[in-house]
Amino acid sequence: MNSIYRLLKQPSFYRIFIWMLNHVPFAIPIKRLRETDSLLAFFPPKPAYPFHVIILPKKAVRSFSDLEPADPFLADLVTAAQSLVAENHLTSYRLIVNGGEYQEFPHLHFHLISNVGAGFIPAQGRAQRSPLQE
C-alpha cells in the first residue's frame, strides 16, 4: 500500500487517480457505500477500527486547507456521514480529517470510525466484521 501512496504523490499518477474517480469508478476495487457527483464513501481495504469508512471528494483536493468553504462536497459529506451513522446504529463515532504530516494519502479524505455498533461487542471487548464489510 505504501508504494501506491508514493505513486499518488507524483502529479501524473494523481491525475490518473482523479480521472478514475470521475470516469471509471467501477475500476477501483472497493465496496461503495455512498456515491454522489462530488463524493465517494467506502470501507478501506485494511480498516483500523471495527467500523471504518473513508469519505473522499471526487475532484482533486489535496488537503483540507485546499477545500473551498462553499464546495458541494461538504454538504454531501454531512449527508453521507449522518446517514451512515443512522444506518449502522453508531451510538459513538468520530469523523476525522488528517492534514500535514498526519496525512499519509495525498488526497483529502475523512475517516468515519467507531468502536460501537456495526459488529462491535462491548461485553467481549473485541470487534467482529460488519456484515457490510463482507
Q: Look at the chain and report how many structural domains it folds into.
A: 1
pLDDT value at residue 133: 44
Low-confidence ranges of the chain (pLDDT < 50): 1, 118, 120-134
Kindly report, residue by residue over 92-110, the tens digit of the pLDDT.
Answer: 999 999 988 888 778 899 9
CATH classification at residue 113: 3.30.428.10
Q: Each residue of 40-57: b (16+ CB within 10 Å) or e?
A: bbbbbeebebbbbbbbbb
Does the pTM surpass 0.85? The reply is no
Pairing of strands 94-97, 110-114: antiparallel
* Structural domain that includes position 54: 2-133
